[in-house]
Amino acid sequence: MLANAELAQDFFVLNQQSKKLVKALLETVDIPSIPLEIEATDNALLRGLEADKIYYIESGSLSARYRDRTVYLLDDGDLLLPDVAGGADHDVSVSYASENGATLAGFPGVEFMRRIIADPAASKLWTRLMITQSGMQLRLTASLTDDDTHATPGFEIYNPGDVIIRQGDRADYVFNLTEGSAEVVVDGVTVGGIEEGEIFGAMAVLTNADRTATVMAKTRCSVVKVPKDQFADLIKSNPTTIHTLLIDMANSIVNLNEQLVGLRGSYVN
């Protein structure tokens, strides 16, 4: 995705992360595609795009327009998802144009999502992709608003030893660790770890409770921060997110149980 505005470097970091996730997702889903060649046109109503398909841009670019305004560009490696509000009313639909043409690979949307839901690895990649793109959209929105309108940052870099979550603090965000590793500490005792790709901090947000553990960066960590209200909307619009959360939470419980067993063993000895 290329923005039609000036954005900070973190947008481009997320953009590269998004393309990697899209590539990994397509390899995991492994569904036959239907090729589609888009001719160069300045007409925003492209022919050939079908509302029930998901498209992967193999080459070229498409400009996404809303109410006669170009908002962003999709280029090589981006995924084009159906516009849920699309329809006959062009005033509320997102339309696309391509100044130089583009080569797309189309996938049947229902079957694509069915395979994602059926495969835990694909579900996790899909959730990470949605969270990453949510962070990109947040930055894009901020770039198009007035200077006195403040937006939540949503993306941070942590160095080894930095605290990402502090035990006892209010839970305002859900986190996705896009790079690095971190450790989970409760009352000064290390009880688990978090690796690249995991979503964490959701339990306190979902239960509206304070943080029950501290999460500290072990290595340099890149983290996407999703505000809790935005995360609630993400769950409603992407049910596969719940599946991924259950897997990550279950893994966390297993890790915690292993730590408790180890501690009990040390006391016995």
**155-268, what's its fold?**
Jelly Rolls (2.60.120)
CATH 2.60.120.10 domain extents, the chain: 2-119, 155-268
90 vs 60, higher pLDDT: 60
pLDDT tens, residue by residue, 185-220? 999 988 888 988 888 888 888 788 899 899 999 999
Q: Does domain 2-119 bear CATH number 2.60.120.10?
A: yes
DSSP bridge pairs for 222: 157, 179
Distance (Å, whole) CA 202 – CA 99: 42
Write the DSSP symbol of residue 99: S
Query: Is residue 103 packed enough to be buried (19+ CB in 10 Å), middle (13-18) or exposed (0-12)?
Result: middle
Higher pLDDT among residues 230 and 26, named by residue = 26
How far out from the chain centre does Cα 60 lie? 23
Predicted confidence at residue 104, as pLDDT, reads 93
pLDDT in the model for residue 7? 60
Residue 84 reports pLDDT greater than 60: no
Scored b (16 or more CB within 10 A) or e, 55-78 reads: bbbeebbbbbbbeeeebbbbbebb
Q: Nearest to residue 193, comparing CAs of 172, 169, 166, 214?
A: 214
Q: What percent of the chain has pLDDT over 70?
A: 71
| Main-chain phi, psi angles of 53, to 5 degrees | -120, 155
140's CB contacts (< 8 A; 6+ apart) are 3, 5, 7, 11, 71, 72
Residue-averaged pLDDT of the chain:
79
Mean pLDDT on 136-158: 65
Span 25-75, pLDDT tens digits = 999 999 999 999 988 876 655 655 787 889 999 999 888 877 777 778 888
Q: pLDDT per residue over 165-181, tens digit each?
A: 999 999 888 888 888 99
Segments in 9-88 forming alpha helices (H):
9-29
Single pTM value for the model: 0.62
Residue 150 pLDDT: 42
